[in-house]
Every structure is written in structure tokens, then in C-alpha cells.
Structure 1
Amino acid sequence: MAMYFLIGVATVAYCLYLYFTRTFNYWRSRNVAGPPPVPFFGNIKESVLRRKHFAIVLKDIYNAYPNEKVVGVYRMTTPALLIRDLDIVKQVMIKDFDNFPERGVEFDKDGLGANLFHADEALWRVLRNKFTPLFTTGKLKNMLHLMIDRSDDFIKYVENITRAQPEQEVFQLVQKFTIANISACAFGLDFDMTKEGDVQRKMRKIDKQIFTLNYAFELDMMCPGIISKIGTSLFPANIKRFFHDLVKQVVNVRKGEPTDRKDFMDLILELKREKQVHGAQRTKDEEKKYLELTEGIIAAQAFVFYAAGYESGATTMGFMLMQLAQNPEIQNKLAAEIKEVLRRHDDKVTYEALQDMTYLDRVFDETLRMYPVVDLILRKVVTDYKIPGSNAMLKKGQTVLISISGIHYDEEHWPNPLRFDPDRFRPENTANRHPAAYIPFGIGP
């Protein structure tokens, strides 16, 4: 009896082994280099076991194959292609973008996932055609007065609290500063920084939940499509409800009409007058796709404005201040430039004054090189595609991966990459650099 039991266990184990290794010959049979996969885990064991973030696992693989243009990897049992060569990155993300329009992660199409950054191809084309113009330099310039007001309040707040306690947690301060700016520019909400109201408390709670969503996102990285297969959403119901209610409240207060604040909601309300928006046509014969601009669609854009601006803005400023503290000579040079530029502009922070702060630009660029807002890029191919200059052939539905951290710390593109050096971004240094070598916010449409 015991023997039959052992035979049964061995048979089940062998069947499971075959199932979880059934795809592991995919890249080898196509002469594409890559790390040997581990049964069940593929190449992401450290991520599955929560030892490393998925982006760090990809960066390690990127670093392990310095002579390869592309590297074949397995997201558990699913083959994917990691692109290292910058020319191929540019080809895939820009020139051949129509073959790679899908983001590679399936979001809720009817809720907050219906936003400019996470929508599927059909919805994305409509949103991009109408919402991208809202983020032009001219439109953002009109919001500068809101940011300056928040900055003045923030300076007074910091001066106040440091009189009693000179040492403060910087990241908490920049979080407070960013949430005040995002709320003012996106929703027309003016917060008192000395107090924390109900909306601010809810936003902080939501921020923690959005951070938790990273685990769900990583789950989809490991098992592509699992979120949609189990019929759930990456976004909890309370987050959806909060942004729907917030948008509805702002629209009602403004009686559905734009004001003179020139903030994000004003721009949306101007657009809402059209009732329906349509997407750009790729070909003359393609049928135009229309979308009703509902409060749900507006709430999705408001959500991503908040999610992308709050945490990433605070994190970038926090890292920049850390690097300035560790590099006092850079800090002094930056302070001298700011003082000199403000002197030339009558001590007023204007759009033109900010444009003249070229060293500040370089400091921010170097911060974003070392700490990019986006860790990795995924794109799903919608047709069979041969990767130029390689043996790799992608089948429809497969994904390509781009490790932004891998590129940003690659010594071939960035000598001594661990050193914080804003002068990397002097005009003479950027002129000959590959355009895909610096992509802190991603690349392509």
C-alpha cells in the first residue's frame, strides 16, 4: 500500500514538474541567451519569495548579460524578453510602437484603470488625443501661481516648526508639501499645512493603500493576467469611491463650469463641454472611436494625477535633498545659482526664473537618473514581431521588459554610475548621449 502511495506522489510530482517547466526551452530553442530558469519560479524566484523587488531582479539579470542585446527570461512559466540594447529600446518603444501599444498589465477598464497611463490601446488612444494637451508647458505654466502660494506657506510652516525642534524628518515634510500642491493643482483644495483635515487623512490612508497595490502589481508580473482572471481590480472600492466623490464635489461646487484657477479640474471641465471625445485615427479608413466623458473617466484621470504626482514627487525631492546633504559642494553651488537667478528676477519665483536655473535642472536630472520614477517598462506585442538585429521572435501576446535602473546604472552609458554628478547633464555631455540612455519617466507615447 505504501509503495502505491509513493508511486502516486512521485507521479503527481513529476507531472507538476513537467507542467511548470513546459515552456523552459522557449528561448534556448531560439538561440536567445538568458539565465537558466528554476522549476515553478522561472527567473524570478527572489521576487516570488519577497526577497527582492521585481525591478531589482530584472536589474540583476540586465547586469549579468553585458554583451547581449536582448535576454530571454521567464516570469514563472511565461517567456518574456528583456531588452538591453538602446537602439532596440528606441525601435520598440517609438518607431514600432503600434506593435506594442498594450501596457502588459491588465487593469480594471471601467474604474480607475481607465486612465491615461493604464488604459488598454483603444481607450488609451482616445484619452491621449484629448488629455495629453492638458499637460503642455503653457497649461502647466498657468498653475505656477498655485505652486508658489503653497511654497510660501510651506516655508512659513518649516520656519515655525524648526524654531521649537530644529531636527525634522525631511521626507514627511516633502510629503506634506507635495500633497498640498497636488491637491491645489488637481482638485482646487487649499490645505492648511499646520492642520490635517479629513480629506488629508483620507489621502494619506489612500497613499498607503496605493503602496500596498505594488504587491498586487508584482503578482501580475509573476503571473501575467492573474488579476483579470480572478475577476478583481488592483484598486480597492474605497479608493474608487473617494475619487468619484471628490470629483463630483468639485464639479458641483463649480456648477460644472471652469473657474479662473486654471487648475486641472478647470481644464477637465473645459473639455467636458464637448460631451464626447474621440481618438486620433491611425489610418484614413479607420473608424473614429468615441468616449463619453463621464465623472468616472474624470475620476480615473484625477486618481492618476494624484498617484503619479504625490508619492513620486515626494520621493524624488527626498532623494535630492539626501544627495545635497551628502555633497555640500553641489549644495553650495545650487544655492548660489538660485540666489543669483532670483536677484536678476527681483526676488520673484517666475516661470522665466525657473527656466534660468540650469544647475537646478541638472541636479533634478541626476536625481532622477539614480532614482527613476519608473523602475521598469512592460509592453505587450499585439502581433508576431521579429526583434531587429537579434534571433528573438516574439509571438502575439508576449511581453518585452525594459530595466530603467539597469540602463541608468550601466557604466557603458554612465561612467562611475554610483556617483552623484549633475554635470553629466551639461549640454556638451548630453549632445552625444543616446536618447534612450535617460528615461526616468519611461519612453515612447
Structure 2
Amino acid sequence: MAIYFLIGVATVAYCLYLYFTRTFNYWRSRNVAGPPPVPFFGNIKESVLRRKHFAIVLKDIYNAYPNEKVVGVYRMTTPALLIRDLDIVKQVMIKDFDNFPERGVEFDKDGLGANLFHADEALWRVLRNKFTPLFTTGKLKNMLHLMIDRSDDFIKYVENITRAQPEQEVFQLVQKFTIANISACAFGLDLDMTKEGDVQRKMRKIDKQIFTLNYAFELDMMYPGIISKIGTSLFPANIKRFFHDLVKQVVNVRKGEPTDRKDFMDLILELKREKQVHGAQRTKDEEKKSLELTEGIIAAQAFVFYAAGYESSATTMGFMLMQLAQNPEIQNKLAAEIKEVLRRHDDKVTYEALQDMTYLDRVFDETLRMYPVVDLILRKVVTDYKIPGSNAMLKKGQTVLISISGIHYDEEHWPNPLRFDPDRFSPENTANKHPAAYIPFGIGPRNCIGLRFAKVQSRVCMVQLLRRFRLLSTDHTRRDFHYDPRRIVLTPAGGFKIKLLPRE
């Protein structure tokens, strides 16, 4: 009996081995170079076991094949193609976008999956057509007063806490601003930064759940599309309830009509008057696509607007403060520009003043080059496609991957990439840069729709901080760190401490 049992176990183990390696000859049979996969895990074992961030795993693969235009990889057992060549990136993301219109990560549309980021092609085209005007210069100017008010409250808060303790963990600190600012600009909620109220506690819990990896992501890698097919979500049910309840509360308070706040919900309610929103017709023969703007659709957009505006902006600002504390000459140059520009604008933070701060733009651009917070571009091909200039042939439904960190740290595109140097982005240095060499917000028609909001929000906060505080490294300021492998975005494990002292 023992022998039969061992034979049975061995047989089952062998069958499982065959099953979990069944696809591993895919790229080799097509003469596409790539790292050897590990049974079950493919090429992402360190990420699946939460030992290393997925973005770093992908960057390591990018670096290991410097002479290849594309690299064949396996996300669990599923073949995918990592693109290294910038011309191919441009071809796929821009010129041949109609072949790659989807991100390839979908989930239950009733469970917030109908948001602009995760939506399939048909839904995305309708949403993008109607939501793009929400982020025009005029709309951002209308929201600016909300950002200024939040930043004034934030500075008072920072002044108060740094009197007693000048050394602060910067990522948690700037989250105080972004959570208050997103709450005001998106939902009309005026939160008190000095108190940890019920709404703040819920939002922090929601944020942790949204940006903490769960194994639904790996399941969807192994069986692409299964999350959507079985009608479940990538996120816990309480997140759906939170945003549905929040939208319902705001709509009821405003009685379904826009107010004079000019925030995100006002803009949504203006659209809602149309009953249905329509996508643009690219050809006269194309069927006109329409969508009813239900509370569920609104909740899905509120979810993605909150997620993108709160965490990613706070993390970017945290990295920027970290670098400025370690590079005092850059910090002093930036503080001098802020002082001079504000002097010309009657000491007021206006939209025009922000536009005049060109060195501030360079500092932000260099921060996002070194720390592209959302460090992966993923696209699903909707038809069989031959990658130009390579042996790689993609089948319908397969995905391509782009490592933003891989490109941003490639010495061929960015010499001495470990050095923080905002002057990389001076007009003379960027004049002849390849359009795909710098892509922190993505590239092509499906890039980040909220990038302009993120830029304005972050610049307001940084201007207010740097005009009043000097940033210093301390004995507790770590010179190295690793990214938290459990987080979706690039976040330093354990945070980062610096000292904030009044300028005058």
C-alpha cells in the first residue's frame, strides 16, 4: 500500500508539473530570447512570494537582455512579451494603438470595474470622450481654490507638528494633504487634518486595501480574464460599498444638481443631466456607442480618481522631498525660483505662477524618472500581431509589458541614471529625446487622463512647503531602501524621515 501511495503521489506531482510547465516552450519555439521560467511561477517567483516588487523583477529582466528588442517572459504560466526597443514601444502604444486598446486587467463592472483605468475598449472610448474635458485648464483653474485652501491648512498642520518634532516621515506627512485635497476636489468633503475622524480612518483603510497586492492578480495572470468571467472583483466588497455610499451621499446632499464648488462631483452631475453619454464616432460607418451615467458608473470613476490622486501623488511628493533633502544645492535653486516667481505674482499661488516655475517642472520630471510610481504598462492585443523588426508574433488576447524603470534607468537613454539631475529636462537636453524615453504617465491615447490634475495638486503642495521650510537629512535618513513588494505602486518599505525647519 505504501508503494502504491508513493506511486500515486509521484504521478500527481508529475501531472501537475506537466500542467504548470505546458506553455514554457512558447517563446523558445519562436526564437524569442528570455529567461528560463520556473514551474508554476514563470519568471515572477520573487514577486509572487512577495520578496521583490514586480516592477523590480521586470526591470531586472530588462537589464539582463541589453541587446534584445523584445524579451519573452511568463507571468505565472502565461506568455507575455517585454518590449525594450523605444521604436517598438512607440509603434505599439501610438501608431498601432487600435491593436492594443485594452490594459488586459478587467473585473466585475458592477464591482467598480467600469472605471476609466480598467474598462474594456468599448467602455473606455465612451468614458474617455466625456471625461477628458473634466481636466481642461479652465476646470483645473476652477478647482485651484480648493487646492490652495487645503494647502494652507496643511502648512498650518506642518508648522504645528514640527515645532515639537522637526523630523517627520515624509510619505505619511504628504498623505495628509492628498487625502484632504482629493476629498475636497472629488467629493466636496472638508476634512480636518489635525484629527483622525471616521472618514479619514475609512479612507486610510480603503487606501491600504486598494494598493496592497492580493493573489487575485496572480490568478488573473495564470488564467487571463478569469476575474471578469466569474463576475468577481480584484478588490474587497467593502471598497465597492464605500464608494457607492459616498457617491450616493454627495448626490443626495446636492439633490442631484451641481453646486458652485466646481469640484469633480459637480462636473459629473453636469454630465449626468445628459442621461446618456456618447462616444466619439471615428468613422461615419461606426456604430455610435452610448452609456447611461448611473450611480454605479459614477462610483467607479470616483474610485479610480481617488486611488490615482491620493496615493500616487503623495508617493511622488515623498520621493521629491527625499531627494531635495539629500541635494541641498537643488533645493536652494528651487526655493529661489519659487520666491522669485511668487514675487512677480503678488505672492499668490496662481495657475499662471505654477506655469512659470520651470525648474519646479524639471525637479518633478526627474523625480518621476527615478521613481515612476505606477511602474508598468500592460496592453492586450485584440488581433494577431507581428512585432515589427523582430521574430515575435503575438496571438489575439496576449499581452505586452513595458518596464518604465527599465527604460528610465537605461544608460543608453539616460546617462548616469542613478544621479538625481533635474537639468536632464532642460529644453536643450530634451529637444531630441525619443518620445518613449520618458513615460511615467504612460504613452499614447490611453495614458493617464488625470496627469494634469496630479501635476497641479502636487505643485501647489510643494510650493507651499518649500517657500516656508528647509529640508534636511538627519542621522535617521536612510541612504538606501527597498520597495515594499506587497504594494502595487512603488513605495519605500518603512517610509523615509527628514527634518523640516522654518526658512524664516
The residue matched to 1:110 in structure 2 has which SS? helix
What's the offset of the Cα at 1:320? 0.4
Q: How many Å separate the matches in 2 of 1:101 and 1:254?
A: 36
CA distance in 1, matches of 2:48, 2:305: 30
Q: When the two structures are aligned, how many residues end up with a matched partner?
A: 445
Deviation at 1:128, TM superposition (A): 0.8
**More moved, 11-20 vs 84-93:** 11-20
Task: Using the TM superposition, give the Cα deviation of residue 85 of structure 1 relative to its aligned residue in structure 2, in angstroms.
Answer: 0.5
**How far apart, in 2, do the equivalents of 1:414 and 1:242 lie?**
43
Residues in 2 aligned to 1:319 and 1:256: alpha-carbon distance in whole angstroms: 40
Distance 2:170 2:36 in 1: 43
Would the aligned equivalents of 2:27 and 2:33 in 1 still touch at CA under 8 Å? yes
Q: Is the 8 A contact 1:125 1:279 kept in 2?
A: yes
Post-superposition shift, 1:48? 2.2
User: What is aligned with 2:58?
Assistant: 58
C-alpha distance in 1 between matches for 2:259 and 2:53: 44
Alignment CA distance shift 1:40-1:215 (3 Å)? closer
- Give 1:230 shift: 5.2
23-32 or 280-289, which deviates more: 280-289
Call closer, same or farther: CA 1:317–1:91 in 2, change over 3 Å.
same
Residue by residue, what CA displacement relative to the aligned partner does 1:204-244 show, whole Å, maximum 9, x if unpaired? 11111112245533543455334335542112221111111
CA offsets 1:402-435 (integer angstroms, 9 cap, x no match): 1111111111111111111100100111111111
Match of 1:293 in 2: 293
C-alpha displacement of 1:5: 3.9
Deviation at 1:160, TM superposition (A): 1.8
How far has the Cα of 1:302 moved from its partner? 0.9
TM-score (normalised: structure 2): 0.85
CA distance in 2, matches of 1:47, 1:166: 36
**Matched residues in 2 for 1:351 and 1:415: separation?**
33
Structure 1 residues 218 and 368, CA, compared in 2 at 3 Å: closer, same or farther?
A: farther
1 CA distance for matches of 2:333 and 2:221?
42
Partner residue, 1:427: 427
Shift of 1:9: 3.4
Change (3 A) 1:159 1:256: same
CA deviations 1:315-349 (Å, max 9, x no partner) are 11111000000001000100011001111111111
Instruction: Quote the offset at 1:295 in angstroms.
Output: 0.9
- 1:366-415 CA distance string (max 9 Å, x none): 11111113211111111100001111000111111111111111111111
Shift of 1:2: 4.4
Q: 1:14 to 1:162 in 2, by over 3 A?
A: closer
**CA drift at 1:441:** 1.4
**Partners of 1:2 and 1:198 in 2: CA distance:** 59
Q: Does 1:174 align with 2:174?
A: yes
Shift of 1:112: 1.1
- Contact in 1 for aligned 2:76/2:218 (Cα 8 Å): no
What SS is found at the alignment partner of 1:411?
coil
- Tell me how far apart the structure 2 counterparts of residues 357 and 215 of structure 1 sit (CA, whole Å): 43
- Measure, in 1, the Cα distance between the counterparts of 2:89 and 2:141: 32
Q: Is the 8 A contact 1:213 1:235 kept in 2?
A: no
Instruction: Give the 3 Å change call, closer, same or farther, for CA 215–331 of structure 1 in structure 2.
Output: farther
Contact 1:257 1:269 in 2 (8 A): yes
Contact 1:54 1:218 in 2 (8 A): no
Structure 1 residue 67 displacement after superposition: 0.6
Would you say the 8 A contact 2:108–2:231 is kept in 1? Answer: no
Rate the CA distance shift 1:37–1:340 in 2: closer, same or farther, 3 A.
Answer: same
Q: Any conservation in 1 of the 2:58–2:403 contact (CA below 8 Å)? A: yes
Query: Does the 8 Å CA contact 1:116/1:301 hold for their aligned counterparts?
Result: yes
Report the more deviating stretch, 158-167 or 352-361: 158-167
- 2:373 maps to 1:373: yes
Q: Which moved more, 1:252-261 or 1:424-433?
A: 252-261
Report the Cα distance in structure 2 between the residues aligned to 1:165 and 1:97, rounded to whole angstroms.
Answer: 51
Counterpart contact for 1:34–1:71, Cα < 8 Å: yes
Give the conservation status (yes or no) of the 8 Å contact 1:44–1:222: no
TM-score w.r.t. structure 1 length? 0.96
* Superposed CA RMSD: 1.6
For the Cα contact (< 8 Å) 2:34–2:71, is it kept in 1? yes
Are the equivalent residues in 2 in contact too, given 1:41–1:75 (CA < 8 A)?
A: yes
Structure 1 residues 82 and 355: alpha-carbon distance in aligned structure 2, compared to 1, 3 A threshold: same
Alpha carbons of structure 1 residues 245 and 221: separation in structure 2 relative to 1, 3 Å: same
Identity of aligned residues (%): 98
Q: Secondary structure at the match of 2:378?
A: strand
Deviation at 1:158, TM superposition (A): 1.4
Bigger mean CA offset, 208-217 vs 158-167: 208-217
Q: Distance in 1 between matches of 2:133 and 2:92?
A: 24
**Contact residue 374 and residue 442 of structure 1 kept, 8 A:** no
The answer as to whether partners of 1:76 and 1:222 remain within 8 angstroms in 2 is yes
Tell me, yes or no, if the aligned pair for 1:153 and 1:193 is still in contact at 8 Å. yes
What's the secondary structure of 1:299's corresponding residue? helix
Residue 47 of structure 1 deviates from its aligned partner by: 1.8
Task: Report Cα offsets for 1:126-146 as digits up to 9, x if no partner.
Answer: 111111111122211211111
Pair 1:70–1:387, CA change in 2 (3 A): same
Deviation at 1:38, TM superposition (A): 2.0
The verdict on how the C-alpha distance between 1:84 and 1:214 changes in structure 2, with shifts beyond 3 A counting, is farther
Asked if 1 retains the 8 angstrom alpha-carbon contact of 2:312 and 2:374, the reply is: no
**How many angstroms apart in 2 are the aligned matches of 1:213 and 1:280?**
35
Q: Partner of 1:213: helix, strand, or coil? A: coil
Q: Please list every run of 5 or more consecutive structure 2 residues that lacks an aligned counterpart in the other structure.
A: 446-504
Is the CA contact 1:76–1:223 (under 8 Å) kept in the aligned structure 2?
Answer: no
Cα distance in 1 for residues equivalent to 2:234 and 2:6: 42
- Contact preservation (8 Å) 1:362, 1:422: yes
User: Which residue is equivalent to 2:196?
Assistant: 196
Q: Secondary structure at the match of 1:443?
A: coil
Q: Is the 8 A contact 1:36 1:43 kept in 2?
A: yes
Query: Do the aligned residues in 2 keep the contact of 1:213 with 1:234 (CA within 8 Å)?
Result: no
Q: Distance in 1 between matches of 2:320 and 2:221?
A: 29
Structure 2: distance between partners of 1:213 and 1:127: 27
Classify 1:218/1:347 alpha carbon distance in 2 versus 1 (closer, same or farther; 3 Å). farther
- Describe the SS at the equivalent of 1:74: strand
Quickly say closer, same or farther: Cα 1:47–1:167, change in 2 above 3 A: closer
Corresponding residue for 1:314? 314
